[in-house]
């Protein structure tokens, strides 16, 4: 399988979860990366701190893209079902 490799972390699209947990207290985390979480007094500070942590976490990591085509998955499932019925 040939997967395109991106060496630039800016190519990665992540989801930031941002929650107010009290007066002047925000928690920001990355849904896709367990353990990447910060607490800060403002939303902006939380996001900035989180970006630094994510960049450090991903430093030296190759980012691979993999396209999953639904039709291929269905065909594989159908082939598997055919084998199961024949094996019984």
Q: Which residue has the higher pLDDT, 2 or 24?
A: 24
Residue 76 DSSP class: H
pTM of the model: 0.60
What's the number of domains the chain is made of? 1
User: What does the radius of gyration of the chain's CA atoms come to, in whole angstroms?
Assistant: 20
- Exposure string of 7-19, with b = 16+ CB inside 10 Å and e = fewer, is eeeeeeeeebeee
Q: For residue 18, what is the domain's CATH number?
A: 3.30.160
Averaged pLDDT for residues 51-77: 76
- State mean pLDDT over 71-79: 59
pLDDT: is 86 or 50 the higher one?
50
- pLDDT per residue as tens digits for the range 3-57: 555 555 456 788 999 999 999 999 999 999 988 999 999 999 999 999 999 999 8
Q: What pLDDT, on the 0 to 100 scale, is given for residue 88?
A: 42
Q: Which domain holds residue 22?
A: 5-87
Q: pLDDT value at position 62?
A: 80
């Amino acid at each position: 399988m040939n997967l395109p490799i991106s060496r630039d972390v800016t190519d990665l699209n992540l989801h930031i979860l941002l929650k107010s947990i009290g007066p002047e207290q925000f928690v920001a985390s990355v849904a896709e990366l367990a353990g990447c979480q910060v607490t800060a007094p403002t939303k902006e500070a939380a996001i900035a701190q989180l970006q630094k942590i994510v960049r450090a976490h991903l430093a030296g990591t190759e980012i691979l893209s993999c396209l999953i085509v639904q039709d291929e998955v269905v065909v594989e499932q159908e082939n598997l079902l055919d084998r199961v019925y024949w094996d019984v």
